[in-house]
Amino acid sequence: MPRPKTLSDKQRENHAKKSRDRWNAANRDKGYRYQKKSRAKSFIKKDASLEELQELRSLIDDRITEMRD
């Protein structure tokens, strides 16, 4: 059985970039959603004040109620 071809670091980087670009092109909405979710979690964990957290809790509770109905 022949040995698999080994790629140079440059070839591996190019292949990874092409793969990322293909995924990003095919999944724009999903990528944007991941980005928004990450920013929201980061804000809550690192920057939000007590008042902001209470406001967010209220908004989340309203959204949950809306989705259940």
pLDDT given at position 7 = 84
| Mean local confidence (pLDDT), 47-56 | 97
Q: Which amino acid appears at position 50 of this protein?
A: L
d(Cα 44, Cα 13) in Å, to the nearest integer? Answer: 34
**Mean per-residue pLDDT over the chain, rounded:** 94
Q: Summarize pLDDT for 9-30 with one digit per residue, the tens.
A: 899 999 999 999 999 999 999 9
Three-state secondary structure call for residue 32: helix
